[in-house]
Amino acid sequence: MAVEEGAHVYSLDTADREVGSTDISLFSVGRDGRTVTYIQWGQLGDLADAPLAGFRQTTRTAVAKLYR
């Protein structure tokens, strides 16, 4: 992601076959200079339920404000 010195967004989708539930987690890591930020979000559901666009915007905003 193009913000300051860069940021990356990752997703982790897990399923429990015995119970039939799924979980989705989003993680992002970004940096500006020597300062690094880490953001995490998660809920029951799958990737279609994740607010990916909003999470990406939150990551951009957080990384851009590291030195404000």
Predicted confidence at residue 2, as pLDDT, reads 85
**pLDDT tens profile 10-32:** 999 999 999 889 999 999 999 99
Instruction: Judge whether 23 and 45 are in contact, CB under 8 Å.
Output: yes
Which pTM value belongs to this model? 0.86
pLDDT computed for residue 39 by the predictor: 98
- The values of phi and psi at residue 50, to 5°, are -80, 140
